[in-house]
Amino acid sequence: MKIERWEPGRNQNSPPGCEFCGLPVYGFSAAEQPSYCCYGCRFAASIAAAGGEEGQNRWAMTRLGLAVFFAMNVMVFTMLLWSQPATPNDSLSRIWYDLARYACLLFTLPVVLLLGGPLAEDAASELRRWRPSLSLLLVVGVAAALVYSTFSLLAGSGHVYFEVAVTILVAVTLGRWLEATGKLKTTEALRGLQRLLPDQVRKLRNGVEELLPIDELRAGDIFRVLPGERIAADGRIELHEAALDEQAVTGESWPVVKRPGDRVLSGTLVLDGPLIIEATESAGQGTLAQMVDALIHATATRARYQRLCEQISNFFLPVVAVVALVTLAIHAWFGNPAGGLLAALAVLVIACPCALGLATPMALWAAIGRAAQAGVLVRDGDALALLARATTICFDKTGTLTTGAAEVVEFATATEIDRQDVLQIAHALAKSSTHPLAIAVSRYAGCELSEEPLPAHNLRSLAGRGVVGRIAGLDCPAYLGSRSWLLEQGLTWPSDAFAYFADSEMAETMVGWDGLIRGQFLFREELRPGVAGVVGELRATGLQTLMLTGDRRPRAASLAADLELVVKAELLPEAKLDEIKRVKRDGPVAMVGDGINDAPALAAADVGIALGSGTDISRHSAGVCLLGNDLSRLPWLIDLSRQTVSAIRWNLVWAFAYNIAGVGLAAAGWLHPVFAAVAMGASSLLVVTNSLRLAGFPDSKPLEHPKDRAPIAVATSRREGRSSQSTVASLAAEESLAAGSVQ
Amino acid sequence: MIELPLIFVAGILGTAHCLGMCGPFALLIGGVSRTWSGMLGRQLAYTTGRLFTYGVLGAAAGFCGARLAALVPTFINIPAALAISAGLFLTYQGLKAAGWLPASVGLQWRLQPAAGSCLASGFLGQFLRQPGASGVFLAGLFTGLLPCGLLYGMLALATSTHSVPLGAATMTVFGLGTAPAMILAGLSGRLVGLATRRRLFAAAAWCLILTGLVSVARGVSYMSISGQQPAGCPMCQK
């Protein structure tokens, strides 16, 4: 499968929308012909399509440039005409001014030919669908100004308004050009993602390398990637190791070293050393493709503000047309048809709803694109808007604030037994399990013991309890698991247990055999690096921070105290939802979770922010994904969302105020169409630049090198944390899938 | 007009400034063409475009000056006020450029980022890369609109002429003054050295100050002459 070209307007599930911006298009539309909501989108689409062929774009630019040149000439002659009353009225100067009038006509014609054509074409194509359009109104207005002026000129009396026609044409086209450029710039980040996949892949077949088109790569194929190339499909490293630049996908600016067995993402860049990779997905279905899909979806969904604008623009055009006609009629009634024509024209020009239509999507596209560059996938615009208004941010504990990996902090044995023996038995049992605590035990034992774990057989894992099995050298089963389970199994405490075993609030695992509990492991959860700083920053932005966990109260409390979070512990999944609903009463709630276990909570919150599932975007129900698993993006994202909403508000306030005030002034005849046209261009420019600011939103403060970060609880290297965490995440995924809790 | 030659000289010397700001453009212009005459043609087309814009801007400034003179009651001597304020503005620009005012220390002018680079540079670049003369001409046309302190000073002066043709003439003469060095720089393919540019810029600053002072003097002399007759505009006369 080929990754679909990014066409934001295309959304199969919605009524036919504008091919470029996705706004709904009303009226008949021929299925095979693309439809656009306005001239601006048609223009933008034509420039975007001409990206490859410079020719068309260049011609559009040249046309605009030449029109500006001729318009400047018209303006100079018009200014001369305007100063006519100040000069003596002799016959020679009258000849000169007549010449200036003809010069105006002469220089107006090329502008009409250059810019009027496309505008008329747009109006005509809309008319063929039985749909009136603003272009049509403008064409009519410009034509009226031209015809009136030409008659005045030929009759030798009356004013000429060539400059009006010319300025309107130039300003409308210039405004559209600005919009088109802005639209292209805001969607640049998204289109950039599609270019990350290479065209060809070095597939290995029986050890022979073949250069094939990327479509021919299937899951299970082995392929080679050379340094400097991008990986074509998600996969697992078979051979060699290399530093990878995952920035394009996860936003992580520091290169990540990956070794055989590690997962690699499509679209990431191999920096050094070749890699042999086994594809786990075919080329069209990896992370990158899902990301592009999600973004296409995000830009096609309509945000709240956008729907508001659509409702308004539904009756905008008829209202404007009526206002313009009434203006013309009233002025004509009072004996000033020429003034009425000008006023009506000014109404049409100033009422161009483009700023209104652009206000929301421009800002959202820019912000969504910017977020994607930073490894934050925003699935719909509303999520961003709600995030900006959020008053509370809830965190899941395990896998979100913590890496999900545990660490043995204490290992105690009863005295009469050799410590080494207990550890060996525990190691033998633990290595068979993928439970996070068991992983921690085998990691700990692996460091403490020099020899290989003892052979074990008849191993059984009991969910929520522990592992039981027979170990070579023991004639009875050995148990590794929870205190209560071991007691249930008939094991008893050694006589002086209290002297050795702590009665701690920390997570614990017991090991025992032959009727006695012989060892105790105590664990602590490993906090994600930098998490305390992130929580502090979020609090500083005025958000309430809350931790929701199913874990035991004391354990959660000690962690929450470290992070200065309010904690709600011992929550069953349903209770988590109730808690979120309760907090929702105070305002929008954002929930940060690992995206798989927390799917219901993420869905219940106003904005779900998913983490820890960078490779499986499609599965979870969150509105926002942190692909880089990096919580430090959160304050940045909140900041971006607030800036976005403020940009949208300003855009809308401006667009509304400008339209309403402008139409009023124009209808009264106080606004010359030339200034209306200039104001319209300025309005588009304002909205576009205001939105483009978001595309250049500065990055959060540079991430330190992972090694320089001081993990709060335990200093383990980040890599270990990551790999074990991914194991835990995949385990959790399997569990929750089995339980049917997802979707 | 006593200033016209001075304006021309200010233009010539101001080129140092232009090269700092728009030098890359000047180099780009000749880039496509291989032959010497082709390059010259492109340079001339570019300069013509720039001159044209300056002329239009000057005409507009002159028109604004005339309108202003007509709108404000005659007991305030608008031509005089315009001439004096334009002169003061030019002098201020000159002092700033000479480094005598803290607003612009030393060579800060050289480090100013090309304003409007976000949208304008792409726009100009599109034209500059085109092979024919029309693209370069249009690039020149739009370069004339780039914000520039020197230009504003001259526009203030054009306003003080309170006449459409004279305003256009002021700006065109200024543009003509900037033309030779820009063309030469574009043809020779290298910019004037930094030290030379610094000296030239200092001279340009002095020239600006001188132009400004002459303009002020002219304004003061207007004070004794009666005000101009009002100009009209169809926009305000229904």
- CA proximity to A695, closest of A652, A640, A654, A646: A640
- Could you tell me if residue B22 is left (phi over 0), alpha (psi between -120 and 50 degrees) or otherwise beta? alpha
Report the range of poorest mean pLDDT among A504-518, B43-57, B213-227.
B213-227
Start-end of H helices in chain B:
3-31, 36-71, 78-98, 108-111, 117-128, 133-143, 149-160, 164-188, 194-222
Q: Do B138 and A85 touch (CB under 8 A)?
A: no
- Rounded to an integer, the average pLDDT of A552-564 is 78
**How far is A374 from A193, CA to CA, in rounded Å?**
12
Q: Do A65 and B130 touch (CB under 8 A)?
A: no
CB-based contact A198:A215 (threshold 8 Å)? no
Q: Do A61 and B126 touch (CB under 8 A)?
A: yes
Q: Do A181 and B60 touch (CB under 8 A)?
A: no
Nearest by CB to B164, which of A57, A83, A692? A83
Nearest by CB to B234, which of A57, A159, A689? A159
Q: Do B138 and A66 touch (CB under 8 A)?
A: yes
Residue A603: what are its φ and ψ, rounded to 5°?
-70, -35
Nearest CA in chain B to A180: B119
**How far is A474 from A455, CA to CA, in rounded Å?**
11
Nearest by CB to B138, which of A65, A80, A81? A65
Cβ contacts from A onto B, under 8 A: 84
As a whole number, the mean pLDDT across chain A is: 76
Q: Do A58 and B164 touch (CB under 8 A)?
A: no
Q: Which residues of B touch A69 (CB under 8 A)?
A: 49, 52, 137-138, 141
Q: Do A62 and B130 touch (CB under 8 A)?
A: yes
Q: Compute CA A697 distance to the chain's CA centroid, rounded to the nearest angstrom.
A: 13
**How far is A599 from A714, CA to CA, in rounded Å?**
29
Q: Does residue A153 carry a pLDDT above 70?
A: yes
DSSP for A232-248?
-S-EEEEE--EEEE-HH
Q: Which SS3 state, helix, strand or coil, does residue A653 take?
A: helix
Residue A518: what are its φ and ψ, rounded to 5°?
-115, -15
Tokens of A41: 């989108």
Q: Does residue A338 carry a pLDDT above 70?
A: yes
Say yes or no: A65 contacts chain B, CB-CB below 8 A.
yes
pLDDT tier at B224 (50, 70, 90 boundaries)? low
Say yes or no: A483 contacts chain B, CB-CB below 8 A.
no
Q: Does residue B126 carry a pLDDT above 70?
A: no
Q: Does residue A4 carry a pLDDT above 50?
A: no
Tokens of A498: 């209290």
Q: Which residues of A touch B130 (CB under 8 A)?
A: 58, 62
Say yes or no: A93 contacts chain B, CB-CB below 8 A.
no
Burial of A11 by CB count in 10 Å (0-12 exposed, 13-18 middle, 19+ buried)? Answer: middle
**pLDDT 10s digits, A218-255:** 888 888 888 888 888 888 898 888 888 877 777 666 77
CA distance B106 to chain A (A): 30
- Rounded to an integer, the average pLDDT of A153-167 is 83
Dihedral of alpha carbons B65, B67, B69, B72, sign: negative
Nearest by CB to B59, which of A65, A66, A79? A79
Nearest CA in chain B to A174: B123
Q: Do B134 and A66 touch (CB under 8 A)?
A: yes
| Residues whose CB is less than 8 angstroms from the CB of residue A499 and which lie 6 or more positions away in sequence, other chains included | none
| Residue at A710: amino acid letter | A
CA distance A181 to chain B (A): 8
Start-end of H helices in A542-632:
553-563, 573-584, 599-604
Say yes or no: A83 contacts chain B, CB-CB below 8 A.
yes
Q: Which residues of A touch B122 (CB under 8 A)?
A: 181
DSSP A24: B
Q: Which residues of B touch A339 (CB under 8 A)?
A: 238
Nearest by CB to B234, which of A82, A178, A336? A82
Tokens of B85: 């304020």
Q: Do A692 and B53 touch (CB under 8 A)?
A: no
For residue A716, the model assigns a pLDDT of 30
Q: Do A68 and B141 touch (CB under 8 A)?
A: yes
* Chain B interface test: which of A80, A83, A674 (most B C-beta within 10 Å): A83
Q: Which residues of B touch A336 (CB under 8 A)?
A: 238
CA distance B233 to chain A (A): 5
Nearest by CB to B63, which of A69, A79, A178? A79
Q: Do B232 and A178 touch (CB under 8 A)?
A: no
A382 is catalytic: no
- CA proximity to B128, closest of B115, B138, B116: B138
Q: What angle do CA A5, A9, A12 make, to 5 degrees?
A: 85
- CA proximity to A615, closest of A233, A241, A244: A233
Q: Which of A122, A221, A396, A598 is catalytic?
A: A396
Q: Which residues of B touch A89 (CB under 8 A)?
A: none
**pLDDT 10s digits, B18-66:** 665 555 566 666 555 567 777 788 888 888 988 999 999 999 888 888 8
Report the range of poorest mean pLDDT among A46-55, A157-166, A552-561.
A46-55
Q: Does residue A527 carry a pLDDT above 70?
A: yes
Q: What angle do CA A549, A551, A557 make, to 5 degrees?
A: 80
Nearest by CB to A83, which of B66, B122, B135? B66
Full-model pTM: 0.65
CB-based contact A179:A688 (threshold 8 Å)? yes
Q: Which residues of B touch A337 (CB under 8 A)?
A: none
For residue A642, the model assigns a pLDDT of 92
**End-to-end C-alpha distance for chain A, whole angstroms:** 26
- Rounded to an integer, the average pLDDT of A132-161 is 82
For residues A734 and B62, which has the higher predicted lDDT (pLDDT)?
B62
Nearest CA in chain A to B134: A62
* Chain A interface test: which of B50, B159, B164 (most A C-beta within 10 Å): B164
**pLDDT 10s digits, A412-444:** 777 667 777 788 888 888 877 777 788 888 888
Tokens of A439: 């992983």
CA distance A76 to chain B (A): 6
Say yes or no: A57 contacts chain B, CB-CB below 8 A.
yes
Percentage with pLDDT > 70 across chain A: 78
- Rounded to an integer, the average pLDDT of A121-144 is 80
- Rounded to an integer, the average pLDDT of A108-124 is 87
Report the range of poorest mean pLDDT among A303-317, B61-75, B115-129.
B115-129
Q: Which residues of A touch B55 (CB under 8 A)?
A: 76
**How far is A188 from A183, CA to CA, in rounded Å?**
8
Q: Which residues of B touch A58 (CB under 8 A)?
A: 126, 130, 135
| Residue at B80: amino acid letter | A
For residue B117, the model assigns a pLDDT of 38
Say yes or no: A62 contacts chain B, CB-CB below 8 A.
yes
Q: Does residue B109 carry a pLDDT above 50?
A: no
Nearest CA in chain B to A693: B118
CB-based contact B51:B57 (threshold 8 Å)? no
**How far is A436 from A157, CA to CA, in rounded Å?**
92
Dihedral of alpha carbons A326, A330, A335, A336, sign: negative
For residue B220, the model assigns a pLDDT of 77
Q: Do A69 and B66 touch (CB under 8 A)?
A: no
Q: Using an 8 Å CB-CB cutoff, list residues of chain B that contact chain A.
A: 49, 52-53, 55-56, 59-60, 63, 66, 70, 118-119, 122-123, 126-127, 130, 134-135, 137-138, 141-142, 163-165, 168, 229-235, 237-238
Q: Do A57 and B70 touch (CB under 8 A)?
A: no
For residue A107, the model assigns a pLDDT of 92
Nearest CA in chain B to A674: B235
R_g of chain B, CA atoms, integer Å: 19
Say yes or no: A692 contacts chain B, CB-CB below 8 A.
yes
